[in-house]
Amino acid sequence: MDINQFLADRSRLMRASEIRELLKWVTENVISFGGGMPDPSSFPAKEIIEITRDILTTKAEKALQYGTTGGILELKEELIKFMGKVGIKVDGPENIIITVGSQEALDMIGRLFINPGDCVITESPTYLAALQAFRIYGPRIVGIPMDEEGIRVDVLEDTVRKLINDGGKPKFIYVIPTGQNPTGITMNMERRKELLDIASRYDLLIIEDDPYGYIYFGDGEPPARLKAMDGEGRVIYLSTFSKIAAPGLRLGWVAASKEAIRWFELAKQSIDLHTSTLNQYIAAELLRKGIIEKNIPRIKEIYRTKRDLMLQALSEYMPEGVTWTKPSAGMFIWLTTPEKIDTTAMLEIAIKKYGVAYVPGKSFYPNEDRHNDMRLNFTYPTPEQIFEGIKRLAMAIKEVITQ
């Protein structure tokens, strides 16, 4: 029997990840910069054991029971304080919904806002799984180029104006302002203000995806969150426990206007009723006891050290003509090779001959045809793997350049 004959049209928009196909050659001897995983030593495992025991001893009847779709009040109240420390003012718990990671929120955004053919705007390149989440709903995705300071707001405004003139006002602008995935770029303050200003002048919605702001490891603090500067309630703010605690908890949250949150709750009801109650209680305790706050400087230190190592290895080994970003946040360095190289085609050689893997840049572009970038993760590999892997990658690049 052929299952394909029964599929909805929508399902044909779900593309199998090309990357997963390519990374199938990764074996034990291959050093992979391909994943997007945190350093496991950053997980507060011992604390989670204790907290879980306490919760199950004192309130198992609540923690193991169904909960409300919006999430448990204890966690929302802790999040209000947590976000308050970075200048995000949230009126009350009705302005928050707890999600199964930010990934669920991205899917809900597609569900709630995108009709087939609607235009949505993203940075270019952008987070691949956001593109995948949105694509299911059939939008036209317009990518806006970036430079080292973030999204090119001049191009953004021209594009918005043109789209509106053509009768296709964009539904939202999706951005990852701090430690962007995949480039590692942090949008500067001026661009942030300009972005909000454009959104206000053209009456647009902004989706601010902020998994990395709390572990910014540059000097000082990161530029203010868009949500902290949002006087008009036009920013829907997403963040997650995946990088400040552990991704296996599958916990994220959305902060937005009460009205927006009510729509998210409606969308979530039919997806999964609510996020794991037990995990929400764990997260509330991690925040209440200050464990997350104590852990953050440690995570920053681990990431800063690994980033420095990768940057050092890159300048030591990479041939002329190769450039890369110098991130102050996030988990990735974005590397650009000379035009001659197609990083998708090179991956097989890199893995099979040199024992190193990365993610080709191509699939991060919503609609540009670029072939000579790659994303390198520096948080998961060990320091030894970072050095050895970059050395191998440089050899692969040199071989392909001279071909």
Binding site for ligand PMP (CB under 6 A): 36, 101-103, 127, 176, 181, 209, 211, 240, 242, 247, 252
**Residue number, 329 or 346, with CB nearest to ligand PMP:** 329
**Residue number, 127 or 387, with CB nearest to ligand PMP:** 127
Q: Give me the least distance between CB of 44 and ligand PMP, in Å please.
A: 16
Here the tokens at position 348 are 């097989």
Here the tokens at position 56 are 């199950």
Q: Give me the least distance between CB of 350 and ligand PMP, in Å please.
A: 22
**Residue number, 208 or 392, with CB nearest to ligand PMP:** 208
Q: Give me the least distance between CB of 222 and ligand PMP, in Å please.
A: 14
Collapsed DSSP state (helix, strand, coil) of residue 41: helix
Q: How far apart are CA 204 and CA 266, in angstroms?
A: 22
Q: How far apart are CA 400 and CA 374, in angstroms?
A: 15
Indicate if the alpha-carbon torsion angle 28, 29, 30, 35 is positive or negative: positive
For residue 182, cis peptide bond before it (omega within 30 degrees of 0) = yes
Q: Give me the least distance between CB of 368 and ligand PMP, in Å please.
A: 19
> Is residue 306 within 8 Å of 33, Cβ to Cβ?
no
Cβ contacts of 381 within 8 Å, gap of 6 or more:
31, 32, 33, 306, 389
Q: How far apart are CA 261 and CA 93, in angstroms?
A: 10
Element (H, E) at 314: helix 291-317
Residue number with the shortest CB distance to ligand PMP?
A: 101
**Residue number, 125 or 170, with CB nearest to ligand PMP:** 125
Helix and strand totals (H; E) in the chain? 13, 14
Q: Give me the least distance between CB of 98 and ligand PMP, in Å please.
A: 11
Here the tokens at position 124 are 């270019």
Indicate if the alpha-carbon torsion angle 224, 131, 43, 313 is positive or negative: negative
**Residue number, 347 or 359, with CB nearest to ligand PMP:** 359
**Residue number, 44 or 252, with CB nearest to ligand PMP:** 252
Beta bridge partners of 209: 238
Here the tokens at position 214 are 């709390």
Collapsed DSSP state (helix, strand, coil) of residue 173: strand
Q: Give me the least distance between CB of 176 and ligand PMP, in Å please.
A: 5
Q: Give me the least distance between CB of 102 and ligand PMP, in Å please.
A: 4
Q: Give me the least distance between CB of 86 and ligand PMP, in Å please.
A: 17
Q: Give me the least distance between CB of 282 and ligand PMP, in Å please.
A: 15
* Cβ neighbour number for residue 135 with a 10 Å cutoff: 17
**Residue number, 102 or 337, with CB nearest to ligand PMP:** 102
Which residue, among 293, 356, 299, has the nearest Cα to 330 in the 3D structure?
A: 299
**Residue number, 208 or 400, with CB nearest to ligand PMP:** 208
> Is residue 350 within 8 Å of 109, Cβ to Cβ?
no
Q: Give me the least distance between CB of 245 and ligand PMP, in Å please.
A: 11
**Residue number, 36 or 125, with CB nearest to ligand PMP:** 36
Q: How far apart are CA 102 and CA 241, in angstroms?
A: 9
**Residue number, 238 or 335, with CB nearest to ligand PMP:** 238
Collapsed DSSP state (helix, strand, coil) of residue 332: strand
